[in-house]
Chain A
Amino acid sequence: MKDRVHIAGTPALNAHKARKKVPFKATPSFIAGLVLIGLSLAAIALFIIWNAKGVYPLGGKSWIAGAASSLMLIVGLILLFRERYARMSFGKKTGMWGIIFLLPWMLGFALFFIVPMGRELLFSFEEIKIQAGSLDEKFIWIENYRYLIREDPNFIRNLVETVLEVLLYTALIIVFSLLCAILLNGKFFGRSIARAIFFIPIVMATGLMLDRVSNTEGLLMAQSQEEQVYGAAIISKLLFSLGVGTEIVAYLANAVNDIFKVVSLSGIQILIFLAALQGIPPQLYEVAKIEGATSYQTFWKVTVVMVSPMILTCTLYTISDLFLSSDLAGTFQDVAILQGYGRSAAMSMLFLVGVLLVIAVYILPLRKAVFYYD
């Protein structure tokens, strides 16, 4: 209804048309549409019959017929509804185009997300053997889960480690990237160069890459990890000579190594926070200044509050990214091949539980703290 009001001229016309019942008229395009749809449906029916009988008169060329009949179906539908479309209200037209624009995604979502999720859940309760092109599925209830939780020596430990790691790194990355964004915000000499450098990690190291790197000790990152170990060695020597305990030194050395992982994983988050910071209306800072707020107060009461929606977004993104790039996620394929599809499916289901757990831990408290300006 709102939309109608916005469009000058058309609404009255549309409303008038909608109220008046238009008598049905068989226009040429309507008839043509019906004919085309009839033809294409007949063609499809013919193919279904042929298929049921197991005869294929067109052989390898039959895909052309398939394409032609689907094209006919689409053209027919367009012709059939052309006149109805002209009489639709603006709001309905909008909705229709909304669905059309979303069609590819909806198809993909149904076929490649909902269905696989359902199948995966089913698989996790089954033992699956591959026999000459077909799957031999046997329902074994929670046997896969029982094995993974009670007997598998590594899985639960790996899962817990991954979850804890994600919990830790998410917090580190969010804090670090917010600080970096604040550092990069504002005007200073060499700003554009600094920004260009800080966004290099987006290009160089997506999580997956970093991971692979630490495994094979190969790519750019590995190099720098060596360097950090080297750097850490200098620091630890220094600290040892100052008489600091071994444990503290080891902890510090670890922290130095962690910095690199955090830096290379927070490129996109810095970007998002930077954009958010620039979106804060300057009046707010002015008001804070006039009211005599210290810069500490301004930071907590203006900056953090204003970027809080983006903190939520970034947290979600970081969690999913960290899980996506975790070592554990990379093992599902090997497990599927070595230990069977059922076990791999159960594994991914437990993994999903871990993901949801971390999301819950972060999102539930964050949701309350988020402030929406508009």
Chain B
Amino acid sequence: MTNAKTKVRTHKKITPAMVKKHSKSVIAAILRYTLLICLSYLILAPILSNIVVAVTHPADLGLSSSIWIPMRLSTQNMHVAYLILNYSKTLPSTLLYTVIVMLLQVACTLLAGYSFARLKFKGQGVLFACVIATILVPSQIIMLPQYLYFSDFRLFGLIPLYNEGKGLNLLNQPAIIYILSALGMGLKSGLYIYIFRQTFRGLPKELEQAAYVDGAGFVRTFFRIVLPCAGPGLITVGTLSFVWNWNDTSFLSWFDPRNANNLMFMYIKRTANMKQALDGISSKVPGTYTYLTDNILYQNAINKTCALAVLIPLIILYLIVQRRFVQGVERSGIVG
């Protein structure tokens, strides 16, 4: 024991240089934590305050006694938001829509990314420059011609042959967005191609070469050898695609403006005129509720509750995939 103590003592001999170094690192730590805490507050505060507003009793809104911790809890705001957004119907259909778009987008960009990374052919460099161009050109610019194209969908004149001489009018249904996603022109598809290309470039070539030597074809090698290794990239792109498609309404507002089943779209439409929305569902609200259609504070609170309802699925998704998502980005290396 005594021996050990003396050892420790000799180690802890304090020199001016050590003091300087130590104090430097302490200051750095303080600075880091201050910044981290401030920025975290900036990010978390809106979400937390929305949650608080959602569970506050309508009569207590705006009281200084229930800013962060509500005096009376109630589910009234949430119920009203549920009715306004038509949640029971919009949530499943939005989930379905987003998952379909995500799968199509991932499938297309996965193949393209692998091709750019490994299956070289002449002129591929030019095509990759085109991918970068699709990232850079905002998609709204070309939506008008796309809109006109889909209002009379002919596909090189093939469809009229089998549809009694007429093109198909695909407007006002999500099919257009599915087609665009499946052909790599969906929301930010170019970025996903880029990410997948980087992912595949990071994999060791020897894996595939071993498979080829053992007699596996290209398709089998891709599905059996390469795809299982691309997990991190898949998670990154899958999450980004899901989240961004969930939040996006630019495609819907062009191609499917009358859609009543998309959560985000519904939110934007309904909250544009909160009073009208509240009046619209007044017959369905139980009589025991404090229902203040004209109160700005109340409208604002319902608005926030609706926003929370739109984002809740994303928050849950994020909590589930968070760890793997961050790891995925690091390992797949968006960075080449």
Q: B146 at interface (Cβ–Cβ under 8 A)?
A: yes
- Residues on A with C-beta less than 8 A from B243 are 202-203, 206
The smallest C-beta distance from A361 to any residue of chain B, in angstroms, reads 14
Given A95-B122, A206-B243, verify A54-B185 contact (CB < 8 Å).
no
Q: B161 at interface (Cβ–Cβ under 8 A)?
A: yes
Q: Which of B147-192 contact A (CB under 8 A)?
A: 148-149, 152, 158, 160-165, 180, 182-185, 191
Q: Are A359 and B121 in contact (CB under 8 A)?
A: no
Q: Are B247 and A223 in contact (CB under 8 A)?
A: no
> Which of B8-16, B58-66, B88-96, B109-117 interfaces with chain A?
B109-117
Residue of B nearest to A310 (CB): B335
* Contact mask for chain A residues 39-72; partner B; CB cutoff 8 A; 1 contact, 0 none: 0000010011001001010011011011000000
Residue of A nearest to B194 (CB): A313
Q: Are A260 and B161 in contact (CB under 8 A)?
A: no
Complex CA distance for A223 and B42, rounded to whole angstroms: 11
- Residues on B with C-beta less than 8 A from A274 are 329-330
Complex CA distance for A299 and B37, rounded to whole angstroms: 24
Q: Are B272 and A216 in contact (CB under 8 A)?
A: yes
- Interface size class, chain A: 35 or more
The smallest C-beta distance from A3 to any residue of chain B, in angstroms, reads 9
Complex CA distance for A309 and B198, rounded to whole angstroms: 13
Q: A167 at interface (Cβ–Cβ under 8 A)?
A: no
Complex CA distance for A135 and B144, rounded to whole angstroms: 13
Q: Are A62 and B253 in contact (CB under 8 A)?
A: no
Q: Are B303 and A218 in contact (CB under 8 A)?
A: yes
Q: Which of B194-245 contact A (CB under 8 A)?
A: 205, 209, 212-213, 218-219, 240, 243-244
Q: Are B42 and A260 in contact (CB under 8 A)?
A: yes
The smallest C-beta distance from A198 to any residue of chain B, in angstroms, reads 7
Given A54-B165, A192-B323, A224-B46, verify A7-B212 contact (CB < 8 Å).
yes
Q: Are B334 and A204 in contact (CB under 8 A)?
A: no
- Interface size class, chain B: 35 or more
Complex CA distance for A66 and B164, rounded to whole angstroms: 12
Q: Are B191 and A317 in contact (CB under 8 A)?
A: yes
Q: B70 at interface (Cβ–Cβ under 8 A)?
A: no
Q: Are A95 and B162 in contact (CB under 8 A)?
A: no
Residue of A nearest to B304 (CB): A223
CB < 8 Å: which of A102, A112, A120, A205 contacts B185? A112
Q: Which of B67-101 contact A (CB under 8 A)?
A: none
* Contact mask for chain A residues 263-289; partner B; CB cutoff 8 A; 1 contact, 0 none: 110001001101110110000000000
Tell me whether chain A's interface is mostly helix, strand or loop, or mixed.
helix
Q: Are B50 and A7 in contact (CB under 8 A)?
A: no
Complex CA distance for A62 and B161, rounded to whole angstroms: 8
Q: Are A320 and B136 in contact (CB under 8 A)?
A: yes
Q: A164 at interface (Cβ–Cβ under 8 A)?
A: no
Complex CA distance for A170 and B185, rounded to whole angstroms: 25
* Contact mask for chain A residues 192-207; partner B; CB cutoff 8 A; 1 contact, 0 none: 1011111111111110
> Which of A146-154, A233-241, A345-353 interfaces with chain B?
A345-353
Q: Are A348 and B121 in contact (CB under 8 A)?
A: no
Complex CA distance for A355 and B193, rounded to whole angstroms: 22
Q: B315 at interface (Cβ–Cβ under 8 A)?
A: yes
- Residues on B with C-beta less than 8 A from A59 are 164
Q: Which residues of B contact A (CB under 8 A)?
A: 29, 32, 35-36, 39-40, 42-47, 49-50, 108-109, 111-112, 114-116, 118-122, 124, 127, 130-146, 148-149, 152, 158, 160-165, 180, 182-185, 191, 193, 205, 209, 212-213, 218-219, 240, 243-244, 247-250, 253-254, 267-268, 271-272, 303-304, 306-308, 310-311, 314-315, 317-318, 322-323, 325-326, 329-330, 333-336
- Beyond known contacts A279-B335, A348-B142: 19 more, CB 8 A cutoff: A6-B209, A51-B161, A54-B165, A95-B120, A96-B121, A109-B134, A113-B185, A135-B148, A184-B36, A197-B44, A200-B47, A200-B318, A203-B318, A263-B42, A272-B329, A274-B329, A274-B330, A309-B336, A332-B144
Q: Which 3 A-B pairs have the closest CB atoms?
A: A108-B183, A98-B119, A95-B121
10 contacts between A and B (CB under 8 A): A66-B161, A94-B121, A109-B183, A112-B149, A116-B143, A199-B318, A203-B315, A220-B307, A221-B46, A227-B46
Q: Which residues of A contact B (CB under 8 A)?
A: 6-10, 44, 47-48, 51, 54, 56, 59-60, 62-63, 65-66, 90, 93-99, 101-102, 104-109, 111-113, 115-117, 119-120, 123, 133, 135, 180, 183-184, 188, 190, 192, 194-206, 208-209, 212, 216-221, 223-224, 227, 259-260, 263-264, 268, 271-272, 274-276, 278-279, 309-310, 313, 316-317, 319-320, 323-324, 329-330, 332-333, 336, 341, 344-345, 348-349, 351-352, 355, 359
